[in-house]
A and B are shown apart, each in its own frame.
Chain A
């Protein structure tokens, strides 16, 4: 509330300054034109972005139209006959891999963010080294994480084998830096008065963070996690590398069951087949992938709004 009041004050001040400037009229006439150009540029950017997305969707729908049916596209299993092939195994696999990834990455990322934001002494060289490296990691290509997953998770260190959770863990490593950065932003946005107020009531630092700061940061953390999830759902290369299968007719039974595939892996495999019909099938599958993405994001947004409302109602 305090921050709100301050920002309103700021707006009033800015408005006052604008009025004064308008009254004196010194060179403020050029400003509107510059302003229009700028806004025009912004609108153009948005239109371009949306246009590309629409083109993709429309193109996929048109191209995949012959196969765009609930059965067998959604409910069927892979088959060597395109008109009988379906995505059920890949859809279930995607939910397994992504679900387990979220469960793994969010606690890790929030923990790291709380340490860096609330406890770490930013003057220490090792804390600054950690910070810098997290930012660098966020820019590492996904195939590198695939190699890491193959060497450390599937074989080597953890030796899980080509199981569902190995895929989740690899993707978790991939998005971890992004979620850490987003969570830190969210924690930083919580006003210090929440921490001080709690501690003035006799709470420990941890209680202040756990009961006061973290709940206020959940919407921001959720937003970061949504973006990370969206990225992870589309990842193909690392999963191919660590043993996602391209032709499998049964759904995974648990985190440690071997043999799984995900939507982008399935699409990739169909799109690279010589037969024209399989390419049509992969176009139709893209529509399904987008729908799954929408469903998962809608769920995450619902969670975020639920928490935002609980705090502001």
Chain B
């Protein structure tokens, strides 16, 4: 496979990234280091709360995502997993009513500070959606989309080939790059979407239930792929499938719904730790009941 370019640099050297990751953040060990011992914090939420209009959706999330880890967000639906995920690349800005409190740090830089350009954030932090959403364009043009809109000065053929290799799709599509992406199977489409997200050379991939629309075979392929990708990228994945979290994730965050007697329900982060610990040795009572299948 091709060499991965320095992920923290932009492809266009002239372009000054608004969120420049500092060269070497001081390695700060987080509680109970997992298999891929964390060397740095890529993303860090501090007392993050999200509101939709007046309604509180998620409250007070503290969560640190270490480099080259796979972090799974699990929990019953409506507990705010997608909401938190969208805060990491400011996709929540597109929801008119959404508003956040607290902080999200990316390599120590505040993502929500006033001089940060959300468009620049999304270039560094890619996203894959629940439904595969290839554009009605050729396979090639799908992957070239990101570099083109960002006006990256790159060898596009090389980028397309590298990303398709990384997404384990190259061999299946190399003879039909100019054909419409809509002709691919669901699993292939989702891998194409992953490849497309890699084309802007991000260092984080956010995935919101990427396998929920796929069959088990395609799911297994994506899970294998994630194990490959974690060597180069940091991955945050929302999943409703606990087995999937156990299979792929180094660390797991369990969200749950808080139901106050006098108001509307909102999501909270109940427990965050090594996947092993969260599933086998949960500290929080709610986690214990959830992972043993008692509710949710």
Contact = CB atoms under 8 A, between A and B. Distances in A.
Contact of A201 (B134, B145, B186): B145
Contact of A199 (B91, B182, B186): B91
Given A193-B133, A198-B135, A200-B197, A2 B122 contact: no
Interface in A297-313: 311-313
A1 B129 contact: no
Question: In this complex, which of B133, B182, B213 has the most chain A Cβ atoms within 10 angstroms of its Cβ?
Answer: B133
Contacts of B197: 200-201
Contacts of A200: 89, 91, 122, 126-127, 129, 197
B136 A312 contact: yes
A1 B146 contact: no
Residue of A1, A193, A199, A215 ringed by the most chain B CB atoms within 10 A = A1
Q: Which 5 A-B pairs have the closest CB atoms?
A: A202-B123, A311-B136, A2-B131, A193-B133, A201-B146
A194 B146 CA distance: 13
Interface secondary structure of A, over-half rule = helix
5 contacts: A5-B213, A198-B149, A199-B91, A200-B129, A201-B123
Nearest to A3: B131
A207 B146 CA distance: 11
A203 interface: yes
Interface in B93-109: 94
A88 to B, nearest CB: 43
A312 B146 contact: no
B179 A313 contact: yes
Contacts of A193: 129, 131, 133
Contacts of A216: 136
A166 to B, nearest CB: 40
B139 to A, nearest CB: 12
Nearest to B202: A202
Contacts of A311: 136-137, 180, 182
B129 A196 contact: yes
Interface string A273-285: 0000000000000
